[in-house]
């Protein structure tokens, strides 16, 4: 037996016991010949004392001990002297007086500290991920992730769901990204595709009569590595039969609300029940379909106001089919010229032509580069529309609608941060509903599914499929939390004819649709029940709960943001003979010419 207790276990009531602990040297101190070692394992820290008066041999041995050595310590639990007790540590009332110390392993000098937070280059952290993960913050993240997943499993089990694994080697299931392909040795020239999600398989499980399915599912998407993406990530994949939209939403809402109360009780759930906001409303109020609902600062539509208002920038934007919208950043009326210039530069980086402002200083003085173009009535009307008061800063974007939304959405979040309105201890969940089923792809000159091709059009809009596809709403929904889309889902098509129609609307020829999706279309002809589901992203959700800035912090072994596994150095070239066995030849791209 290596240990009788963990390093987080001993209390004052254990005084007098002889115990065996094993773990890593977190810290050590030499207090005039008496050695103190904080011994750490996953469960905590215990102070070990090595007193030369007790054993000179022991004292000699521990002189060589350094951080992260692995020790086994046998000793007696004693109370700490009152002045040395540490209330911040659960084991802080006791210490273990070592009688025997065995060095189980030594440790080379570390590439970064484990016992304190410091700014380490992320690539170094990823290269030594096995050390990085020893750090307290990441240990906590691993544990939080475990708690989240365990809660999900227990809850869904209680609600009649079956956890079912689906294959990783499969055929393309499109979610809007490129597939990762796996060559088949047995069938030269043929490839499996790694699932972008188990979408078709979970639907097939409904045809199979499972009724309530879930899986902690790995999804693989070969996307350009912008922002916070990982080539592989994890979803709580769910699907249910005989459900309507609100059956799915109610169950998921209950799951996440009770989960948060249990796993992160220190956080406050802002809305109960979660608001349901239409896609259009979300865009109009927040400029994006994954809003941060922890604060207001909503967008105000000034497009009607702008017509003939006197300020040509606003007028021209509207005349050329664009939009004028604004936000009121309360209390930022004290911003200096320099701060406003800096905001304008930022807006330009986001694609806006500029940023117009009205500043109302705390003493009431109004200033704006465009005030002189507006009549007194128009000026007053503008201030009223924006509910402006002393101390406010009004920011305007006049541009194409998409630019106006995007730029103000980003500004709102940036200023929300600066004003401390994005409290990490608040969880503002909401549902976004009534998305358009299709969006027009300018590049490809065809309709594209906004969610995916298996989403059902809402009943009332079915007729529009033939006449005006752009107006058809999808029976789809997003779950949004604090400025992130955490899940998407939909009620599905379960009839072959309708599925074929949607495939053809998004430009899939009947031959290609049959070649790629015959399994699901065939299945729809054998008594497929009505069904629907959703797939919350676990990495992102845990990231938000852990107050982490990116999902790599909550994944044990993530890829770098350049999609490499830095620790094992993958991807890498194959071993000799592997390509021949797979009947593959690599044709490398021409090296880029130096400009
Ligand atoms: N498969 C979808 C996704 O990965 C989720 C769903 O529709 O259930 O986004």
Find the CATH number of the domain harbouring 586. 3.30.930.10
287 exposure class (CB count in 10 Å sphere: 0-12, 13-18, 19+): buried
Lining ligand 1 with CB less than 6 A are 175, 197, 199, 488-490, 533-535
How many independent structural domains does the chain possess?
A: 3
* Domain membership flag for residue 285: no
Which residue's CA lies nearest to atom 4 of ligand 1?
A: 197
Same domain? For 147 and 87 the reply is no
Q: How many Cβ atoms sit within 10 Å of the Cβ of residue 430?
A: 22
For residue 347, how far is its CA from the centre of ligand 1 (angstroms)?
33
* Domain membership flag for residue 441: no
Q: Which atom of ligand 1 is nearest to the CA of 202?
A: 8
Residue 86 belongs to domain spanning: 12-105
Q: How far apart are CA 35 and CA 48, in angstroms?
A: 8
Q: Which atom of ligand 1 is nearest to the CA of 219?
A: 4
Q: How far apart are CA 437 and CA 131, in angstroms?
A: 47
Alpha helices of 456-495 — where are they, by DSSP H?
464-467
Same domain? For 134 and 254 the reply is yes
Same domain? For 263 and 333 the reply is no
Which residue's CA lies nearest to atom 8 of ligand 1?
A: 534
Same domain? For 256 and 164 the reply is yes
Which residue's CA lies nearest to atom 1 of ligand 1?
A: 199
Say what the pLDDT of residue 443 is: 86
Mutate to test the pocket of ligand 1, among 215, 535, 539, 541 (most ligand atoms within 8 A of CB): 535
| Selection from 293, 326, 336, 332 nearest residue 415 by Cα | 332
Q: How far apart are CA 200 and CA 516, in angstroms?
A: 11
* Domain membership flag for residue 331: yes
* Domain membership flag for residue 280: no
**Residue 99, SS3 per DSSP:** strand
Query: What dihedral do alpha carbons 412, 414, 419, 420 form, nearest 10°?
Result: 110
Asked if 403 contacts 456 with a C-beta cutoff of 8 angstroms, the reply is no
| Selection from 164, 233, 168 nearest residue 204 by Cα | 164
From 372, 395, 422, the end of a domain falls on 422
Asked if 433 contacts 276 with a C-beta cutoff of 8 angstroms, the reply is yes
Task: List, as one string, the DSSP characters of 103-161.
Answer: EEE--PPPSS-SSS-----HHHHHHTHHHHTTSHHHHHHHHHHHHHHHHHHHHHHHTT-
* Domain membership flag for residue 262: yes
Q: How far apart are CA 135 and CA 416, in angstroms?
A: 31
The whole model's pTM is what?
A: 0.95
H or E segment and range at residue 526: none
Q: How many Cβ atoms sit within 10 Å of the Cβ of residue 470?
A: 11
Same domain? For 81 and 145 the reply is no
Q: How far apart are CA 272 and CA 264, in angstroms?
A: 16
From 402, 422, 442, the end of a domain falls on 422
Same domain? For 223 and 148 the reply is yes
Same domain? For 247 and 151 the reply is yes
For residue 547, how far is its CA from the centre of ligand 1 (angstroms)?
25
For residue 538, how far is its CA from the centre of ligand 1 (angstroms)?
13
Same domain? For 336 and 252 the reply is no
Say what the pLDDT of residue 445 is: 87
From 401, 422, 443, the end of a domain falls on 422
Which residue's CA lies nearest to atom 9 of ligand 1?
A: 488
Kindly give the interhelix angle for 136-158 and 245-263, rounded to the nearest 10 degrees: 140
Q: How far apart are CA 124 and CA 32, in angstroms?
A: 36
Same domain? For 101 and 229 the reply is no
Q: Which atom of ligand 1 is nearest to the CA of 454?
A: 7
| Selection from 90, 251, 227 nearest residue 539 by Cα | 227
Same domain? For 78 and 152 the reply is no
* Domain membership flag for residue 167: yes
* Domain membership flag for residue 466: no
pLDDT in tens, 509-550: 999 899 989 999 999 999 999 999 999 999 999 999 999 999
For residue 197, how far is its CA from the centre of ligand 1 (angstroms)?
7
| Selection from 393, 424, 479 nearest residue 294 by Cα | 424
For residue 412, how far is its CA from the centre of ligand 1 (angstroms)?
28
For residue 155, how far is its CA from the centre of ligand 1 (angstroms)?
20
Q: How far apart are CA 206 and CA 94, in angstroms?
A: 57
Mutate to test the pocket of ligand 1, among 489, 520, 532, 534 (most ligand atoms within 8 A of CB): 489
For residue 109, how far is its CA from the centre of ligand 1 (angstroms)?
46
Same domain? For 263 and 133 the reply is yes
Mutate to test the pocket of ligand 1, among 173, 198, 199 (most ligand atoms within 8 A of CB): 199
Place of tokens 């993960």: 133
What 8-state DSSP symbol labels residue 586?
A: -
* Domain membership flag for residue 501: no
Say what the pLDDT of residue 187 is: 97
What's the CATH number where 338 sits? 3.30.1360.30
Mutate to test the pocket of ligand 1, among 221, 249, 533, 536 (most ligand atoms within 8 A of CB): 533
For residue 215, how far is its CA from the centre of ligand 1 (angstroms)?
12
For residue 166, how far is its CA from the centre of ligand 1 (angstroms)?
15
Same domain? For 351 and 408 the reply is yes
Q: Which atom of ligand 1 is nearest to the CA of 487?
A: 9
Say what the pLDDT of residue 594 is: 67
For residue 196, how far is its CA from the centre of ligand 1 (angstroms)?
9
Which residue's CA lies nearest to atom 7 of ligand 1?
A: 489
Spans of the chain below 70 pLDDT: 227, 594-595
């Amino acid at each position: 037996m290596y240990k009788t207790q963990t390093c987080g276990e001993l209390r004052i009531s254990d005084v007098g016991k002889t115990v065996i602990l094993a773990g890593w040297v977190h810290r050590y101190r030499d207090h005039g010949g008496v050695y103190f070692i904080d011994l750490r394992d996953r469960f905590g820290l215990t102070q070990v004392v090595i007193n030369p008066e007790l054993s000179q041999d022991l004292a000699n041995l521990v002189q060589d001990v350094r951080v992260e050595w692995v020790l086994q310590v046998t000793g007696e639990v004693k109370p700490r002297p009152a002045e040395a007790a540490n209330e911040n540590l659960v084991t802080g009332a006791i210490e273990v007086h070592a009688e025997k110390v065995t060095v189980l392993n030594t440790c080379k000098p570390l590439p970064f500290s484990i016992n304190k937070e410091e700014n380490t280059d992320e690539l170094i952290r990823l290269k030594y991920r096995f050390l990085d993960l020893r750090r307290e913050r990441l240990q906590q993240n691993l544990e939080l992730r475990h708690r989240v997943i365990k809660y999900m499993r227990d809850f869904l089990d209680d609600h009649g769901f079956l956890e079912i694994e689906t294959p990783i080697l499969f055929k393309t299931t499109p979610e809007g990204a490129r597939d990762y392909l796996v060559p088949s040795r047995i069938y030269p020239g043929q490839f499996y595709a790694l699932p972008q999600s188990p979408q078709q398989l979970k639907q097939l499980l409904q045809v199979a009569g499972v009724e309530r399915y879930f899986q902690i599912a790995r999804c693989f998407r070969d996307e350009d590595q912008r922002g916070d993406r990982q080539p592989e990530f994890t979803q709580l994949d769910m699907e249910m039969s005989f459900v309507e939209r609100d059956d799915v939403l109610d169950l998921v809402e209950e799951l996440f609300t009770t989960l948060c109360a249990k796993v992160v009780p220190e956080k406050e759930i802002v809305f109960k029940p979660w608001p349901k906001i239409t896609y259009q409303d979300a865009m109009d109020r927040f400029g994006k379909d994954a809003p941060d609902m922890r604060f207001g600062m909503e967008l105000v539509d000034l497009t009607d106001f702008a017509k003939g208002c006197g300020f040509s920038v606003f007028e021209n934007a509207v005349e050329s089919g664009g939009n004028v919208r604004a936000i009121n950043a309360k209390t930022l009326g004290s911003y200096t010229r320099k701060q406003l210039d800096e905001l304008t530069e930022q807006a330009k980086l986001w694609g806006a032509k500029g940023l117009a402002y009205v500043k109302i200083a705390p003493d009431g003085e109004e200033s704006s580069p465009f005030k002189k173009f507006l009549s007194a009535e128009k000026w007053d009307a503008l201030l009223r529309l924006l509910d402006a008061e002393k101390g406010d800063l009004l920011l305007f974007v006049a541009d194409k609608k998409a630019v106006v939304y995007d730029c103000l959405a980003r500004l709102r979040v940036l200023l929300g941060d600066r004003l401390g309105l994005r409290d990490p201890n608040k969880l503002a969940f909401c549902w976004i509903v009534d998305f358009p089923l299709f969006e027009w792809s300018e590049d490809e000159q065809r309709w594209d599914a906004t969610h995916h091709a298996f989403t059902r059009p809402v009943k009332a809009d079915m007729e529009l499929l033939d006449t005006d596809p752009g107006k058809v709403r999808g029976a789809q929904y997003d779950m949004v939390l604090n400025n992130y889309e955490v899940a998407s889902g939909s009620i599905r098509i379960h009839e072959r004819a309708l599925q074929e129609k949607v495939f053809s609307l998004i430009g899939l020829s009947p031959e290609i649709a049959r070649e790629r999706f015959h399994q699901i279309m065939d299945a729809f002809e054998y008594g497929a029940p009505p069904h629907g589901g959703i797939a919350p992203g676990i990495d992102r959700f845990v990231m938000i709960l852990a107050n982490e800035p990116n999902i790599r912090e909550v994944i044990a072994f993530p890829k770098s943001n350049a999609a490499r596994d830095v620790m094992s150095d993958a991807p890498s070239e194959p071993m000799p003979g592997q390509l021949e066995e797979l009947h593959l030849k690599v044709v490398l791209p021409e090296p880029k010419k130096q400009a």
